[in-house]
Amino acid sequence: MLTLTSARLVLGNLAAWSHGSAIVYPSEIYDPRAIVDAVVQERCTALHGVPTHFLGVLAEVQRRQQAGEELDFSRLRFISSSCGGTAFPDRMSAGQELPLVHPSQSSS
């Protein structure tokens, strides 16, 4: 059964593929460390997912920054969330962990 969320994820991938984007899949399962590593190492410009995943990624970013690690997110310009809710945008605007990021939410 194809849910609305999975349909949006599929459409997001199809849009990227059809426009010649390089798509990075950091791991086979959800792993915030792998996501942060991939965004930094591959110099990703966009990140797509759901708010709960982004909260885990932000927690990983905060953990690394508190440990003194410098992370370069200067290429990251756009974060797209595939479902509603305010937790992620509120956290982003309050924390400013990732500069130049413009979260966008689609709602049904």
Domain map (residue ranges) of the chain: 24-105
* DSSP line for 40-108: HHTT-SEEEE-HHHHHHHHHHHHHHHHTT-----TT--EEEESS--SHHHHHHHHH--STT-EEEE---
- For 7-51, write each residue's pLDDT tens digit: 777 787 788 888 888 888 888 999 999 999 999 999 988 887 777
Tell which CATH architecture fits domain 24-105: 3-Layer(aba) Sandwich (3.40)
Predicted structure pTM score:
0.69
- For 62-78, write each residue's pLDDT tens digit: 999 999 999 998 888 77
- For 82-106, write each residue's pLDDT tens digit: 555 555 555 554 454 554 444 455 4
